[in-house]
A and B are shown apart, each in its own frame.
Chain A
Amino acid sequence: MTLTQIVQGERSLAVIGGEATDANLRRYLHGIPGVDAVGLEQRAAGLGTRSIKTTSKAWALDRIIGLIDQTTLEGADTPGKVRSLVAKAVTPDPADPTCPSTAAVCVYGDMVPFAVEALGSARGDPEKGGVAVAAVATAFPSGRASLAVKLADTADAVAAGADEIDMVIDRGAFLAGRYGMVYDEIVAVKEACRRTDGTSAHLKVILETGELNTYDNVRRASWLGILAGGDFIKTSTGKVAPAATLPVTLLMLEVVRDWRRMTGERVGVKPAGGIRSSKDAIKYLVTVAETVGEEWLTPSLFRFGASSLTNDVLLQRQKLATGHYSGPDYVTID
């Protein structure tokens, strides 16, 4: 994979100038300029008015599919459901072989073996056209379990073959100001992502922005997730409303941009939950391109966590090719 490999602890030591204690982290995170909510939302709305037509739209639709983590995270998930999801991820549009596959499938930890098996040779680096297996871990979605359980959850998914781990932060600890604890937990989970051969599953840190409530909190949590070594910062579990919104994603992209400005490192962003239409997804592409640059529109740096988005994109894609809309029976349910 092409994701930047980050050495534990180096990020924070160099940036915050000391150990990642509650006090040091607080001093650093609270020293970051604030966010003006009205201005942020205005900027996001402005980006949302871009008009993406014809060739740009065709490119955008294909790219959106290639950035999707095709997701099923239900208590009712079964091996059969996961196989169906995998088939959808590999061949989103059976009628059109030129349609790209999605970046990954995203499932619960116990479903990883079935996803790995179903993918077979299709499994691989999404940067090279493969489909990765992402697993949610750390007592997803609430994160309310002991550290030992969270680490075991993570290690189990990695051992089963997960290429990517989507962890949740302890929002309770974050809101209580125990930044050191949140930090340590991310560091520990990152460690648990290590495989026996020395490589590591990639870590996406879910902030659950809907529970953080303020943009200032989202910004601080984003910095915290990056400082602790996250390869990606992700908005939401999809289980809490509001999930991904354009202003929140813009804000996280600004943090990622600032991180690159400061260190040269590139961190990914994954909005997840609530993005259902092509029109909305295109707004996200525009926001990425105009905030961090077009180079971020690649599976190692940007993903959509979505389940129903794929079909809307396929319908739009068919419309662009044929000139007329088909209907829900012309795309497959997974």
Chain B
Amino acid sequence: MTFLDYAPAPESRSILDLRSDYGLFIDGEWRAGRGTPFASISPATEEHIASIASANEADVDAAVSAARRAYEKTWSRMSGADRGKYLFRIARLVQERARELAVAESLDNGKPIKESRDVDVPLVAAWFFYYAGWADKLDHAGLGAAPSALGVAAQVIPWNFPLLMLAWKIAPALAAGNTVVLKPAETTPLTALLFADIVRQAGLPAGVVNIITGAGETGAALVAHPDVDKVAFTGSTAVGRAIAKTVAGTHKRLTLELGGKAANIVFDDAPIDQAVEGIVNGIFFNQGHVCCAGSRLLVQESIHDEVVDRLKDRLSTLRLGDPLDKNTDIGAINSREQLDRIRELSAVGEAEGAERWTAECAIPDNGFWFAPTIFTNVSTSSRIAREEIFGPVLSVLTFRTPAEAIAKANNTPYGLSAGIWSDKGSRILAVADQLRAGVVWANTFNRFDPASPFGGYKESGYGREGGVHGLAAYLKPGSSALAAPATRSQKAARKGAAK
């Protein structure tokens, strides 16, 4: 054994106290689902974690009704300062239970514990703290005086950052005064169900947060429910399109955060070692299951070989394996279905003539795994340069001039994020200005902050999450004119006063 074969350092699972089966969290209590329950498994070992209830249309209706009642009776009447107190309480509980949440996330999702511990869970707490602060300051959100909540928000989230996406959805919705029905992805419901317990612990009024589990039909029934005022979805572009069709012609507001095929542009004057780190972090963070992943590396032709060599050296030091081991860099692919898609697209890449390089690492016998892979000699027309792979696969393309880099970066139906690496500040600003992407990182990648809006251009969706923009997605503008119509919460307040 050599030093670099670090001895196992597994995070203990003893902190988790999981039930064998989970129901639906509706109106502040656990209820049995009326659909057929399904199992959540650990993608690293394929072991059964828990049996999860499935919500049918009647359950969805019950959840939306509970949210509506909570909205009408308590949440919309509560002062912003009081709503903020609940959110602060949730944020603190997330911090207190951070280790438990991180272990659960890594177990259920397959992501390395160092990411769930150092990235996901701290960001979840940060999101609740940030929006807790907004709850009593909505007048200053730039939406006029006394902007009002929309009502009941239906939220459907993906499996790549289960708890973090929950926070991105729930924190601004509650701060703005909405109540929510949230459906986590069917492969990763565990942390949302633990979050239901945090909601209970925080003493949130019943029905303000409802968590229902199930597959695609449950999500479809939720977004189609007529009493929903707002739909927020993060996930694939295909499902996003279907949701947009469902919602079209109704009163429902919609925000979509969909796929991406981000360009990570490396100029020849880039800080090379940090750029290599950024490329690794851009595409191999969370096994590449990141909608804003830097999956297209655009590297200036003059430094292409050097960058690729260094990248391969660096990738050879990545550790793939047990997500709960504290030294694991690359965890498991979330599901067999996703693994099949990554394999299929990688095969297409090879068939189309790109040169494949895969880091040498031992693949565990059970579970779903895909070793970090780079494709060089990729042409812009190749499928692996066009389609979102959503896995640890990087396509390397080259450019010669800044204009060509910009043109290639923008030549995608997506537009969620991009990265620029250069030591020259003026070039960074000039290029960033011309990139059609919601987020542009300069000399870094995949960094998130609750104060910063996040969202896409084109097929990457619309609407923004995070910052004041993310708040606006859950608010109706307030009365700026003298004769503005009274909002629902104002009416409710008046009714309350008359009693």
Contacts and interface: CB of A to CB of B under 8 A. Distances in A.
Interface stretch (A56-64, A134-142, A170-178, A265-273): A56-64
A52 B8 CA distance: 8
Contact of B3 (A36, A60, A254): A60
Given A49-B118, A60-B3, A36 B274 contact: yes
A290 B9 contact: no
Interface stretch (A12-20, A39-47, A324-332): A39-47
A43 B277 contact: yes
B273 A35 contact: yes
Nearest to B281: A42
B2 interface: yes
Contacts of A49: 114, 118, 326
Contact of A38 (B8, B317, B444): B444
Nearest to B423: A34
A209 B115 CA distance: 32
B56 to A, nearest CB: 44
Contacts of A290: 4, 317
B2 A53 contact: no
A285 interface: yes
Given A38-B444, A50-B327, A33 B272 contact: yes
A145 interface: no
B7 A54 contact: yes
Contacts of B5: 56
A294 B444 CA distance: 28
Interface residues of A, number: 27
Contacts of B272: 33
A55 interface: yes
Contacts of A206: none
Nearest to B445: A39
Contacts of A35: 271, 273-274
A254 B273 contact: yes
B291 to A, nearest CB: 22
Interface in B1-26: 1-9
Contacts of B423: 33-34, 36
B280 to A, nearest CB: 10
Given A34-B269, A51-B326, A294 B277 contact: no
A36 B3 CA distance: 29
B239 interface: no
B60 to A, nearest CB: 42
Given A38-B443, A63-B3, A33 B269 contact: yes
Contacts of A43: 273-274, 277
A59 B3 CA distance: 7
A196 to B, nearest CB: 40
A297 interface: yes
Contact of B444 (A39, A54, A56): A39
Nearest to A41: B274
B219 interface: no
Contacts of A59: 3
B204 interface: no
Contacts of B274: 35-36, 38-40, 43
A149 interface: no
A52 B6 contact: yes
Interface in A233-252: none
Which 8 A/B pairs are nearest by Cβ-Cβ distance? A39-B274, A51-B9, A51-B326, A36-B271, A36-B274, A56-B7, A34-B423, A33-B272
Given A36-B271, A39-B271, A294-B4, 15 more contacts: A33-B273, A34-B423, A36-B274, A39-B273, A39-B274, A39-B275, A39-B277, A43-B277, A49-B326, A50-B327, A51-B326, A59-B3, A63-B3, A285-B3, A294-B2
21 contacts: A33-B271, A33-B273, A36-B275, A36-B423, A39-B274, A39-B275, A39-B443, A39-B444, A42-B277, A43-B273, A43-B274, A43-B277, A51-B9, A52-B6, A52-B9, A54-B7, A55-B7, A56-B6, A56-B7, A290-B4, A294-B4
